[in-house]
Copies of this chain bind each other. A is one copy, B any other.
Amino acid sequence: MKHNFGAGPGILPHEVLKQAAAAVVDFNGIGLSILEISHRSPEFEAVLDEAVKLVKELFSVPEGYSVLFLQGGASTQFAMVPYNLLPEGGKAAYLESGVWANKAIKEVKYFGEAQVVATAKEANFTYIPKDFEIPADAAYFHITSNNTIYGTQLHKFFPSPVPVVCDMSSDIFSRKVNVADFGLIYAGAQKNMGPAGVTLVIVKDEILGKSGRKIPSMFNYQTQIEGGSMYNTPPVFAIYVSMLTLNWLKSKGGVEAIEKENEAKAKVLYDEIDRNPLFKGVCVPEDRSIMNVCFVTENPELEKPFLKLCDEKGIVGIKGHRSAGGFRASIYNALPITSVYVLIDAMREFAENNK
C-alpha cells in the first residue's frame, strides 16, 4: 500500500482506477475496450454528456457558461487565453504569484502586452500579493488560484473590473468557488480531476468573439463550443476517467464535503509542521495551500534520511519540486486522511530519532 503525495499526475480514487481498468478490457459489457470505440458512438457521447453535466452540477455552473474538455494542458491555455481574449495591441493584467503564473505571462508576448499588477518573485513566491490595482482597460485579469510548486493559495478572490481568468489546475474541485465571478476557468485534469491528457475549460460565452482576431479552429474556444468538445477526436479515455472521478466526488457529497475533508487534512499536517522541531513551513501561514503543503528541515542534512524513512513507510512523491527543494506533500481530493496520518507519524518518529 502506497501513500501517494505526488504533485501531479496525482492520486486517483481506488474505485475509479478499478472501473477504468475494467473498461480498458470491456467497456460497459459491449465487448469492446473504451480505447477502441468511436468518439461518435452513443456510448462515448453518453460519457462526455455525463462529464459535462457533473462539472455543471458540482461547480454550480450558471447559465451562459460553456464547459469544454480540451487537449494540451494548462500550458496550451497560457496561449489560447490571449489568442481568444486579447485584441491586437491590447494588454492583459496578470498576477505573478508563482512559477506557473510566470509561464503564463511569458506566452502573452506573442499576442500583446502582459501588465504584471504584482509579483511575489522577490520572496520566492512564498506569499500571495494582495495590494494592487487591476487596470480597468485590461482585456482580462489572470490569476493562478493555487501554486503547486511553492504551496500558496488564494483564499479570497479579487473583485475585478474586467473578466477574471483563473488557472485552477491544482485546486479545481477541492473547494467551492463562485463560477459567476470568473470569465474563464481552466485546469489540467491531472491533479484533482483525472489523468493527464485532458484540460477542463469553463468559459462565459459572452466574453468570446471580441478580440477581433482570426483564430485557427483548434485554438478557438468558439469552434470547440460549437463542436461540443468534439470538433475533432477528443481524448476519450482521459475524459472517461475524469467522468468517473467527478462521479466519485459527487458520491462523496460533492465539493462542499471534500472541502471540509481537505481543510481537515491540511490542518493536521500544518499543525504537525508547526509543532515538530525538525520541520518548518515554507509559506506565510495565511496563504498556505490546502492542496500542496511545502515544508523544509531546519537542518538540510536531514533531508535524505527523512526521504528514506518515507520511502520505507510507502510514502511517495514527497520530495519538493526541483526549483523549490525540501518537501511537498500534495494532499489532493483522492488522498485519504489516513495517508496524512502515516506521514505525520513518520515526521514524529523522525524527530524522536533525531533529537
Within the assembled complex, what's the spacing in Å between the Cα atoms of A6 and B32?
11
A76 at the interface (CB under 8 A from B): yes
Contact of A18 among B11, B25, B72 (CB under 8 A): B25
Q: In the complex, what distance in Å separates the CA atom of A8 from the CA atom of B236?
A: 11
* Further contacts, 9 of them, CB under 8 A, given A8-B38, A72-B72: A2-B31, A9-B233, A12-B36, A21-B25, A35-B195, A71-B73, A75-B218, A78-B216, A195-B237
Q: Interface digits, A40-81 against B, CB 8 Å rule (1 contact, 0 not)?
A: 000000000000000000000000000000011111101100
Report yes or no: B188 in contact with A32, Cβ–Cβ below 8 A: no
Query: Which B residues are CB-close (under 8 A) to A83?
Result: 216
Closest to A321 in B: B40
Could you mark each residue 309-324 of chain A with 1 if its beta carbon is under 8 Å from any beta carbon of chain B, else 0? 0000010110000000
Q: When A and B form their complex, which 9 residue pairs have the shortest distance between CB atoms, in order from nearest?
A: A197-B235, A79-B216, A75-B232, A71-B71, A21-B24, A35-B195, A2-B31, A21-B21, A196-B236
Choice from B7, B107, B216, B238 contacting A197 with Cβ under 8 Å: B238
- When chains A and B are docked, how far (Å) is the Cα of A71 from the Cα of B234? 10
Find the residue from A11, A24, A38, A79 having the highest chain B CB count within 10 A: A24
Q: In angstroms, how far is the closest chain B Cβ from the Cβ of A305?
A: 21
Q: Which of chain B's residues have a CB closer than 8 A to the CB of A33? A: 12, 17
User: Which listed residue, B6, B18, B38, touches A37 by the CB 8 Å rule?
Assistant: B6
